[in-house]
Amino acid sequence: MSGQQEPPAPGAEPDPGRPPAQPQPQPPRRGSFVRDLRIVWAERDFRRLLSTRLISQTGDGIFTAGLGTYVFFNAATFPNPAKGAVAFAVLYAPYSLIGPFAGVFIDRWSRRQILVYSALLRSVFVALTAGLMASGNLGAPLYVAVLLVLGVNRFFLSSLSAALPHVVAGDKLVMGNSVSPTAGGTMAAIGGLLGLGVNAATGDTEAGAAITLLVAGACYIAASMVARTMGRDLLGPTRQPDQAGPGRVLTELGVVAAGLVAGVRYVSRRRGPATALGATGGNRFLYGILFLMSILLYRNYFYRGASPSTAETHYGYLVALVAVGYFCAALITPPVTRRLSKAAFIALLLVVSAVAIGALGETYSQTGYLIMGFFLGVAGQGIAICATTVLQEQLPDGYRGRAFSLYDMMFNITFAAGALISVPFMPLNGKSQALVLVVACGYALVAAGYWLTGRHSAGPGVGGGPIPADAAHVSSS
């Protein structure tokens, strides 16, 4: 029902410790994804960079599917709430804790070399993870290996973002930023489906999960080979002759940490961005509870006596409906926010979530959960689009990069926290009427709190105009 998040920065991924270099503002365009792709695809170096991303993110989807099926749909074991919550924490922590500091190194080393060697290093760590899976390991060594894979991936994704301005012209940068994460997310979803297919074909066993991961490792090797076709210095970093080089690593890491603290203080004093981050965190916290509950329901309740592959297949239907909801949100959010303020739409989406959960959550019907998943997909992506647009509109360039680092942390850490905090109250089969009621009421309270505190901060004008067409391409899923 959710995927890993890449920070939706409007340009090259900034160093949170210093004002990020941003392209000149451009007027909103009424464009389409296909048109943008056709325009930027004409750039030879962009094609190579995008191909590197697409191959790698296909591997990401396969890796996530292999890991998820091993942890949650293993024929030899039934998942429990604690193991599920730990898995979420391992999957999401690197993106939040490593991401803000990655720029210190990305601004020092050749980004082309980072792409080449980080992809190869990931393939090695994937092979290690596959070996642990084949041995039936579901303990600390496996999670350490997964952390290594995802931690290196954070550098890879950040380098892709930082390299983009070097392969497209300045007047096409907005198009490039619309196309790249959207296409990458699409390929990750396709990779996830491929991973489920490979896992099902190999019998949903430890060996099958290991084979699935090795396919992901092959994608990373292929991505490294494509990245190698680009010139070593093509992607930067570049410096002017009179520009000072980077300082000491520890000093710059300290600057990043201090910058994040300053960013928290600055954003917390601006009601619009602060409440948008709060709404994002509230939504993701409650969604994390539902995510864990849904996996346990499908594996241990709906299909308790069936084969894991049957549960996995039907859970795939739920994931697909959530993805359809994400896509629909990207279509409906721009026209709706031309009539409603973003604050009103965020509050409305939170209310829709509360109603959907309250009406369908305690039916414990698969049809009901499919419908609920669709509405939660619409709400989650709609909130993400509005929240990221508020940050883009209401914060100056000098703080925007740090704000998106905070957004990234809020998006991922609260999701894992929701799952972790629900563990003591989550039954093994996931069926808990009390938890469903708590989550439904939680959404209603978040909606009320956000509306009362944020409704005057996202009206017409700064932070309140219609969402640019490009913002609909931001993917937070």
Average pLDDT over residues 140-148: 87
Average pLDDT over residues 143-158: 85
Does residue 261 surpass a pLDDT of 70?
A: yes
Burial class (CB in 10 A: 0-12, 13-18, 19+), 51: middle
Average pLDDT over residues 13-22: 43
Q: What is the pLDDT of residues 342-396, one digit of tens each?
A: 899 999 999 999 999 999 999 999 999 999 999 999 999 889 888 887 886 787 7
Q: What is the pLDDT of residues 268-320, one digit of tens each?
A: 888 888 999 999 999 999 999 999 999 999 988 998 878 777 888 888 889 88
In the chain, the amino acid numbered 141 is P
Does residue 472 surpass a pLDDT of 60?
A: no
Q: What is the pLDDT of residues 116-137, one digit of tens each?
A: 999 999 999 999 999 999 887 7
Q: What is the pLDDT of residues 313-345, one digit of tens each?
A: 888 889 889 888 887 887 788 888 889 888 999
DSSP helix/strand/coil, 304: coil
Q: How far is residue 416 from each of residues 74, 85, 323, measured CA to CA in Å?
A: 22, 7, 20
- DSSP-assigned states of every residue in 194-262: HHHHHHHHTTSSHHHHHHHHHHHHHHHHHHHHHHHTS-TTTT-----TTS-----HHHHHHHHHHHHHH
How far is 322 from 188, CA to CA, in rounded Å?
15
- pTM reported for the whole predicted model: 0.74
Of the chain, the percentage scoring pLDDT greater than 90 comes to 34
Where are any strands of DSSP class E within 31-171?
A: none
